[in-house]
Amino acid sequence: MLCVLLFAVIYFGDLDKELFFAINSFAYNFEDKLWAVLTNLSDGLISFVLLLPFIYKKPQYIWSVLLAAILFTIFGQTIKHVLHIPRPPQILAPHEVHLIGPDWGANAFPSGHASMIFNLAGVFALTTSKKWLRIILIAAASIIAFTRVAVGVHWPLDVVAGAALGWITVWMGLKLAQRTPWGWGSLGQKILGAILLFACVVLFFLDYTGHENIMREQRIFALVFFVFGFIAYLKVYKQKES
């Protein structure tokens, strides 16, 4: 409901471009590397790696987010290719956009990165009874989602719509996961865990985000989550053997 309200205020108030300039110019106050690190937390592969340490105790979280990601990809890509809304670098002059990293081509609406980070935050926020934790998760997801505007590749409306789509699809993902427990059973844990461990290896060696200046941070991230993820993954096998 908050996303719908915010979307309406921005759209009917014709504030989209004005907010873009305000947020994007604010990025000049900090190092580009900071925005690159924050915005890549909403990348699909990185977000899934963040879940790897939960492969032992909360494998249903990973399965829920995977189902949700499939849903928002289908819905989001359909909307993107129907509307064909250009990204800021495509319609604004180079001096008007503080672009950090690649411009990601066409089809801005909705933001897939915003959907992904709200998938990640939502799987925890919708399963906890602690209100303070929900507030922190939603606030963190909102900040990370709006870095897509700070790096110059999305309009504010793209982010708000992506956040709403991510929240809705993760709710759907949680419901679907309850009906398909085989997705996070013994075999599911082993398969998903192996895939995510391999994803850590990919992140360690491959610069696929287009932000070459943060490869050191990306490698540290990959190494840390590989270690903690591998420890959790070993517990999956020990549990089954016992």
Confidence at residue 238, expressed as pLDDT on a 0 to 100 scale: 77
For the cut 90, the answer to whether the pLDDT of residue 103 exceeds it is no
Q: How confident is the model at residue 140, as a pLDDT?
A: 96
At 135, list the tokens: 């507030």
Q: Is residue 18 part of a domain?
A: no
Q: What is the DSSP letter of 55?
A: T
Q: What is the mean pLDDT of residues 194-211?
A: 91
Q: Is residue 14 part of a domain?
A: no
Q: What are phi and psi of 192, to 5 degrees?
A: -65, -40
Report yes or no on 15 lying in a domain.
no
Q: Cα(197)–Cα(235) distance, rounded to whole angstroms? A: 14
pLDDT at 242: 44
pLDDT in tens, 142-156: 999 999 999 999 999
Residue 16 within any structural domain of the chain:
no
Closest CA to 54 of 156, 123, 157, 1: 123
Answer yes or no: is 17 within a domain.
no
Would you report the helix, strand and coil content of the chain in percent, each value rounded to 5?
80, 0, 20
Residue 66 corresponds to which tokens in the numbers above?
A: 């995977």
Q: Answer yes or no: are the C-beta atoms of 52 and 193 closer than 8 Å.
A: yes
Number of structural domains in the chain: 1
Distance (Å, rounded) from C-alpha 124 to C-alpha 132? 12
Residue 55 belongs to some domain of the structure: yes
The domain in which residue 195 lies consists of 2-7+23-241
- Whole-prediction pTM: 0.92
Distances 103 to 148, 150, 154, 211 between C-alpha atoms, Å: 11, 12, 9, 11
